[in-house]
Structure 1
Amino acid sequence: MSKRLIIFTGAGVSAESGVPTFRTGPDGLWHNHRIEDVCHIDTFEQNYDLVHAFYNARRTALQGVEPNAAHQAIAELQQRYGDQVHLMTTNVDDLHERAGSPEVVHIHGNLLELVNLAEGAVLPIGYEAFDHAAHPPQFKPNVVFFGEVAPVYRDLFTLMQSLTRHDLVLVVGSSETVVQFCLEAYSGSNGAATILYIDPTDTCPYDRLLGPGLKPYTEHCRMGAVEAFSAGSPVRKWIECWFNS
């Protein structure tokens, strides 16, 4: 069986390009907006104007940011090792694609698209603000809201269940709040996969989720994504040794 590198990226990766995170820190987007007002399917219709104003601002702001060295390094790994590298992200931006990643699975949707709820059609909109006032109230950002089922979850958990000792899993910049990638990878592989949790926080979320000392990963690399994927970093050495051993 050939070795695989499975990469899951979260908001921490794009944050290093200047994209605000939704949850973390005083500048997190949820600190300025109530989730139930701008990201819950049960209140979408009644908050239609606010929702589109919120996501229009996120979409148009993407034009002012660029992929960082971590995005580029991940793209280079995909280009070098082909189908042996799998990339899934909870980020709804397009920075992985713009960095050159040939295949990106967006777990929670794509900000550069709209969904016509009446027809079930996905429409590209790019970095433009959507003039929702000029259209019937049936268009939604193609982002998974709270209260919705993410269509990609089935593929995500199928992948998790397929993990073996032949897989190296990188969980990069994830708060482990919505999806516990490390825990799912550990459980899915029965502890056989090598799992690196890459996040600069001093405290690990699993101390709270599972209790002190219970770690569903091989190592917590306390560094940002750009540092982790820089030449000579422990993570890059781990990847190189993994494919060359």
Structure 2
Amino acid sequence: MKRVIFFTGAGVSAESGVPTFRTGSDAVWENHRIQDVCHIDTFEQNYDLVHQFYNQRRTALAGVEPNTAHRKIAQVQQGAPERVILMTSNVDDLHERAGSPRVRHIHGNLLEMVNLDSREIIPLHYEAFDYTAQQGRFKPNVVFFGEIAPVYAELFELMNSLTEEDLVVVVGSSESVIAFCAEAYIGSQAAATILYVDPAPTNTYDRQSITPYNKHYRISATEAFAEDSELVHLIEQWLA
């Protein structure tokens, strides 16, 4: 059975106006070091700052909308729900709002809070969470640097299940945190067809002897998923 597997990264949401960050523990993210607002080792000492930061990010989601790429991926998934898989490293809900019926968030969900005492997951909307008004300690349900991501086991199980029957579409990933293309190439033993969508003129694979994708679309995600685009036609033909 032919499948299409989408892996999406920060670039696809950036085209809707969601800020990205430079990778690495000392990177600057909206004037904050990731070490200060997204690292488990400093979470307790920066408890207030972390909550203020994620409250700001959560409330900002109300002002952005899914783009063409989100909507087209949702449409493809709706048309063949048993044959289309979507995993994202993004913590926003733009895929869900676009209509994707099943989204696996590799790095957690910004619209959830974890009660660290009871381990209860609290669903949120686009409002600030008043962490001072409730009993207990809380953490945004987002995987911080220094933490183990529970979904990684599922991710690599999927990678190792890939065959020549699978079309892998990697969208908006810098490939520096999770090298989706390389992992799909290795997991499928070079059997899967891998398409990489990212407008950057260069990428980490340019300096390597083996290119782990069949084609790199050096255009934006919204361009790549426009109606009648080459990529859309390839996906539709794969599932036909």
Interval containing the TM-score (normalised by the shorter chain): over 0.9
The 4+ residue runs of structure 1 with deviation greater than 6 A are none
- Tell me the secondary structure at the aligned position of residue 134 of structure 1: coil
- Going from structure 1 to structure 2, the CA distance change for 1:94 and 1:29 (only over 3 Å counts) comes to farther
Residue 169 of structure 1 pairs with residue 168 of structure 2: yes
Counterparts of 1:206 and 1:123, CA distance in 2: 40
Cα-Cα RMSD: 1.4
Counterparts of 2:54 and 2:30, CA distance in 1: 15
**What is aligned with 2:233?**
237
* Larger deviation, residues 84-93 vs 223-232: 223-232
Shift of the alpha carbon at 1:77?
0.3
Shift of the alpha carbon at 1:29?
5.7
- Tell me the secondary structure at the aligned position of residue 196 of structure 2: strand
Query: Do the aligned residues in 1 keep the contact of 2:115 with 2:136 (CA within 8 Å)?
Result: no
Counterparts of 1:7 and 1:84, CA distance in 2: 11
Shift of the alpha carbon at 1:233?
1.3
Query: Do the aligned residues in 1 keep the contact of 2:28 with 2:34 (CA within 8 Å)?
Result: no
Would you say how many aligned residue pairs link Structure 1 and Structure 2?
237
Extract unaligned runs of 5+ from structure 2.
Answer: none
Shift of the alpha carbon at 1:214?
2.5
**What is aligned with 2:122?**
123
Counterparts of 1:152 and 1:14, CA distance in 2: 20
**What is aligned with 1:48?**
47
**What is aligned with 1:65?**
64
- Tell me the secondary structure at the aligned position of residue 74 of structure 2: helix
Q: Which amino acid aligns with 1:93?
A: D
Query: Do the aligned residues in 1 keep the contact of 2:69 with 2:226 (CA within 8 Å)?
Result: yes
**What is aligned with 2:224?**
228
Residue 145 of structure 1 pairs with residue 144 of structure 2: yes
Q: Which amino acid aligns with 1:180?
A: A
- Going from structure 1 to structure 2, the CA distance change for 1:213 and 1:220 (only over 3 Å counts) comes to farther
Shift of the alpha carbon at 1:134?
2.2
Counterparts of 2:36 and 2:132, CA distance in 1: 18
- Going from structure 1 to structure 2, the CA distance change for 1:29 and 1:126 (only over 3 Å counts) comes to farther
What is the correspondence of 1:78-227 to structure 2 with a 5 Å cutoff?
Answer: 78-136=77-135, 138-207=137-206, 211-227=207-223
Q: TM-score, normalised by structure 2?
A: 0.95
Shift of the alpha carbon at 1:60?
0.1
- Tell me the secondary structure at the aligned position of residue 112 of structure 1: strand
